[in-house]
């Protein structure tokens, strides 16, 4: 079942406001939409080993695939990686 929620604006009370999505969910920003965070907040990146990322690719990639510019933290080599032209590379 596909569900969509279109939101024009979502705000919460700081510092404990969170939005949680299931692992298989996508958050898409279109047009001039943006994700704004204050200077003391952080953005948690997907993190896992090579084997874990290979498994998630098999689970979710048929539906949405990887796209250029996506980021992840590879716990196997301890490096931040970016997806570009069909492969994950460490900078």
- The secondary element (H helix, E strand) that includes residue 89 is strand 87-90
pLDDT of residue 29: 75
pLDDT of residue 55: 63
Q: In what order do the strands lie in the sheet with 79-84?
A: 47-48, 71-74, 79-84, 87-90
pLDDT of residue 80: 94
- The secondary element (H helix, E strand) that includes residue 57 is helix 50-60
Q: How far apart are CA 90 and CA 22, in angstroms?
A: 27
Per-residue pLDDT tens over the stretch 23-69 = 667 777 777 777 777 777 777 888 889 888 776 655 554 456 777 88
Per-residue pLDDT tens over the stretch 66-86 = 778 888 999 999 999 998 888
- The secondary element (H helix, E strand) that includes residue 33 is none
Answer whether residue 1 shows pLDDT above 60.
Answer: no
pLDDT of residue 62: 47
The whole-angstrom distance between residue 9's C-alpha and the CA centroid of its chain comes to 20
DSSP three-state, residue 73 = strand
Answer whether residue 3 shows pLDDT above 70.
Answer: no
Place of tokens 């990887």: 66
């Amino acid at each position: 079942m596909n569900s969509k929620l279109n939101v024009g604006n979502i705000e919460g009370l700081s510092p404990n406001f969170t939005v949680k999505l299931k692992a298989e969910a996508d958050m898409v920003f279109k047009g001039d939409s943006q994700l704004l965070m204050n200077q003391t907040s952080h953005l948690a990146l997907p993190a896992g080993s090579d084997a874990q990322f290979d498994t998630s690719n098999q689970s979710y990639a048929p539906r949405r695939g990887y796209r250029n510019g996506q980021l992840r933290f590879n716990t196997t080599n301890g490096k931040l990686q970016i997806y570009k032209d069909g492969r994950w590379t460490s900078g």
